[in-house]
Structure 1
Amino acid sequence: MTKNLLLSFILIAMLGFAARAQEALFGAQQIVSPEVNADGTVTFRLMAPHAQTVQITGDFLPTEKMDTPMGQMDGPGKAALTKDDKGLWTYQSAALKPELYNYSFIVDGFTTTDPNNPFLIRDVASATNIFLIGGGHADLFKVNDVPHGSVTRRWYDSPGLGMDRRVTIYTPPGYESSKDSYPVLYLLHGAGGDEEAWINLGRTSQILDNLIAEGKAKPMIVVMPNGNVIQDGAPGEGSKGFYKPQFMVAKTMDGTYEANFQDIIRFVESNYRVKADKAHRAIAGLSMGGFHSLHISNNYPNTFDYVGLFSAAIMPREDASGKMYSDFDAKLKAEMDNGYQLYWIAIGKTDFLYDANKEFRAKLDAMKMPYDYVESEGGHTWRNWRVYLTEFAPKLFNQ
């Protein structure tokens, strides 16, 4: 093959590749969805000329009752899109308040994501699109032009669990260039979550960056572990490879996690510049993570000066046993007598755990155990938990 013939062959191959790439590019839907309008309404669009029905479901719509593994709960509502003569389906929302929202399309009964919106989050095994209406507290969820911290995924040795495990760690702006030591917040996820939950669904790094920049929160390290003791890492990120995440896996609330939590603290305090004392440690979590925070803090009463229970499960299941859950009232009294700076409880008025939290507060009242209480609208949702973090973090390490 001559040199000129070889060059011609290469040129033809490159042109063919470029044509295929352009075909993939221009074959995609050239549609804006969602489009946030100046009046706060949002327009959603989907090109589906052969579809018979298209609906949208999302947390910006009125709630509907739905069956879940935790029983009947409020879930996102649905609304119908309208179709034009070209097969373009459209829905325009009412004016929305500042918030981070999620949504999906339902096409002829099949739930799917919006092909024109590449921004998604995974909650347990469900992926949904997101969009943000700025303003108010929602500005804390945005990436703003402020100094930024770092987010790393580290592996720590857990002798008690017999494996190396993955943990997500946020370090505040300036950590790498300074010699300062920092306080630590251990932030725990709920059932079905993992070490990715708070950083992705909870917007932890954005919230902390913004609060610190505004002078509303102390610079702190935030440690977000995996609370599922049979996993070394999140599905797709650990040694078990790719598999469908489950809402509740084995051994999540049987005391094993609480009994081995000190492995995480030892790793952090051996590998990061931290103030390794009770006054500079906080622990908080949502739902199952609130349950873990409650029982870790009362089993190790000289470890944390700040405790946050976000929509927390309170009492162990009937089949759970062991020393982590024994002598519950006595441990609470020991924690109270030992002293702490803040015991913070928050829950939504329609949360399915509301009554359990009400009973728990009655127990604390009878003991005269001090706590702060926040009651919000809504239920067992990330919309509440993100806000709880924005309210809890500024209260930490101010003594």
Structure 2
Amino acid sequence: MKRNIGLLCLLVLAGWAYAQQNVSFREGNVVSPQVNEDHSVTFRVRAPQAENVMVLGDWAANKGFGALTKGADGVWTYTTPALPSEMYTYRFLIDGVAGLDPSNPFTRRDVGNVFSIFYVGGGCADYYQVRDVPHGTVSAVWYPSGQLGANRRLSVYTPPMYDAEPERRFPVLYLLHGSGGDENAWVELGHVARIMDNLIAEGKVEPMIVVMPNGNSSKQAAPGETSENLSYKPAMTNLIPGSYKNGKYETAFPEIINFIDHRYRTIADKAHRALAGLSMGGFHTLYISANHPAYFDYIGLFSAGLDMSNVDVSQPAYGNLDGKLKTLQEAGYKLFWVAIGNEDFLYQANRDFCKRLDRLGFAYEYHESSRGHLWANWRQYLLLFAPRLFR
């Protein structure tokens, strides 16, 4: 008995020591990243044997590159110029090998890559962080899709007062991800729950339900969350067989609306529904709204994938777009909002699409931001778009 107790104590101590070792490995005496008072950011990594260390991030200054300088203690250091308020992602490149910041436990997955993250406050990033305000709920919800032949998963945000006010009904924003994303993308990278909590607390938006479906029509849910388990690895949607530009998702979308209207206390009419999406999700948004003109009064295209050169117009969902847009115009809508960054590789495609709308006499609003095809823009587009809804 004493031997068993002694062995148990040794195991507990070993586990404690291992945990402490992990903490030491992550933290040690190296602080990284360090957001400075002037909004510059200092990165540090201990790599005494390394010959070259770079930081690769998604900020605009120096195109996100920074060369670290080695100190006598083997710690490499680099400080950025002052950065605008935003959530940023980055990785280290140590002698050509990319990796996370070992001193920073906070990460995000984007498609198949994992990045370390940090925030520079004092602006839009304040909406991306948790504040001491009432909080909504994000749920992973499965729905049956007869048209796609599978049970599929949604992420659903309900506002803070949803449970406390059981007689109240709410408008719905359907928010679509881009290629390589899934139903988790807007929650994890777009910070939807935090943005909505903070905007609602400030009275800047109508409290609403936000529904984030999985736009990969041949998949049930995010990688690792389907019956394929770990055999389904993250990939861009055009590399997933049966998921890309086949019209199935756009055609089947009313199934999602019907499910949400039956499952949640929605205001189930056109005036209280909005649809928006980024990149591939912007493409989906265009064709869902064009094929189902009676469903949405608010439509938002965020850096939409509007290169029409590889669209198969023989697919019923994609044919006769001009005619469908005229039908949408006749059905009426309150806002058709197009946003694009001036460095986005889809910039010209979006400008050409706006010219198409001009030729049709189709009313829309256009927002042009700086920079390219990245989450920094899409989060900010949501901050601009959401307050326009349901007012």
Q: CA deviation at 1:60?
A: 2.0
Write the distance in 2 (CA, Å) between the matches of 1:325 and 1:176: 40
Structure 2: gaps (5+ residues): none
Matched, 1:152 2:139: yes
Which of 191, 210, 226 is equivalent to 1:203? 191
Query: Is the deviation greater in 137-146 or in 328-337?
Result: 137-146
Which of 300, 315, 319 is equivalent to 2:292? 300
Write the distance in 2 (CA, Å) between the matches of 1:316 and 1:302: 28
* TM-aligned CA distance change 1:7 to 1:39, over 3 Å: same
Q: CA deviation at 1:29?
A: 4.4
Which of 211, 222, 238 is equivalent to 2:226? 238
Q: CA deviation at 1:6?
A: 4.4
Query: Is the deviation greater in 39-48 or in 151-160?
Result: 39-48
Equivalent residue letter for 2:208 = M
TM-score (norm 2): 0.94
**In the alignment, what sits opposite 1:15?**
13
CA deviation digits over 1:188-234, x for unaligned, max 9? Answer: 01111110111111111111111111111000000000000111011
Equivalent residue letter for 1:254 = N
Write the distance in 2 (CA, Å) between the matches of 1:286 and 1:304: 17
Quick check: which one's helix share is greater? 2
Query: Is the deviation greater in 275-284 or in 242-251?
Result: 242-251
Task: Please give the secondary structure, in 2, of the residue aligned with 1:217.
Answer: coil
Structure 1: gaps (5+ residues): 64-75
TM-score (norm 1): 0.92
2:134–2:160 Cα contact (<8 Å) kept: yes
Which of 180, 183, 193 is equivalent to 2:181? 193
Equivalent residue letter for 2:234 = P
Matches of residues 358-369 of structure 1 in structure 2 within 5 Å? 358-369=351-362
Write the distance in 1 (CA, Å) between the matches of 2:65 and 2:142: 41
Equivalent residue letter for 1:191 = S
CA deviation digits over 1:102-157, x for unaligned, max 9? Answer: 11100000111101111111111111111111112221111111111100001000
Equivalent residue letter for 1:388 = Y
**In the alignment, what sits opposite 2:170?**
182
1:255–1:321 Cα contact (<8 Å) kept: no
Matched-pair identity in %: 50
**In the alignment, what sits opposite 1:68?**
none
Task: Please give the secondary structure, in 2, of the residue aligned with 1:331.
Answer: helix
- CA RMSD in angstroms comes to 1.6
Write the distance in 1 (CA, Å) between the matches of 2:288 and 2:168: 28
- Between Structure 1 and Structure 2, how many residues are aligned? 384
* TM-aligned CA distance change 1:351 to 1:9, over 3 Å: closer
Q: CA deviation at 1:41?
A: 1.6
Which of 341, 357, 363 is equivalent to 1:348? 341
Q: CA deviation at 1:5?
A: 4.7
1:316–1:325 Cα contact (<8 Å) kept: no
1:227–1:289 Cα contact (<8 Å) kept: yes
* TM-aligned CA distance change 1:334 to 1:210, over 3 Å: same
Matches of residues 198-277 of structure 1 in structure 2 within 5 Å? 198-242=186-230, 243-247=232-236, 248=238, 249-250=240-241, 251-277=243-269
Q: CA deviation at 1:24?
A: 3.9
Task: Please give the secondary structure, in 2, of the residue aligned with 1:111.
Answer: strand
Matched, 1:48 2:53: no
2:178–2:280 Cα contact (<8 Å) kept: yes
CA deviation digits over 1:295-320, x for unaligned, max 9? Answer: 00011111100100111122362446
* TM-aligned CA distance change 1:12 to 1:340, over 3 Å: closer
Task: Please give the secondary structure, in 1, of the residue aligned with 2:151.
Answer: strand
**In the alignment, what sits opposite 2:124?**
137
Write the distance in 1 (CA, Å) between the matches of 2:373 and 2:22: 41
Query: Is the deviation greater in 226-235 or in 96-105?
Result: 96-105
Task: Please give the secondary structure, in 2, of the residue aligned with 1:140.
Answer: helix
1:216–1:394 Cα contact (<8 Å) kept: yes
Q: CA deviation at 1:7?
A: 3.6
**In the alignment, what sits opposite 1:70?**
none
Task: Please give the secondary structure, in 2, of the residue aligned with 1:335.
Answer: helix
Equivalent residue letter for 1:288 = M
Equivalent residue letter for 1:330 = G
* TM-aligned CA distance change 1:300 to 1:8, over 3 Å: closer
CA deviation digits over 1:278-299, x for unaligned, max 9? Answer: 0001100011100100000011
Equivalent residue letter for 1:87 = G
Write the distance in 2 (CA, Å) between the matches of 1:365 and 1:222: 31
Matches of residues 60-209 of structure 1 in structure 2 within 5 Å? 60-62=59-61, 76-178=63-165, 179-209=167-197
Q: CA deviation at 1:4?
A: 4.4
Q: CA deviation at 1:23?
A: 3.7
2:281–2:304 Cα contact (<8 Å) kept: yes
Q: CA deviation at 1:96?
A: 1.6
* TM-aligned CA distance change 1:25 to 1:309, over 3 Å: closer
Write the distance in 2 (CA, Å) between the matches of 1:183 and 1:366: 32
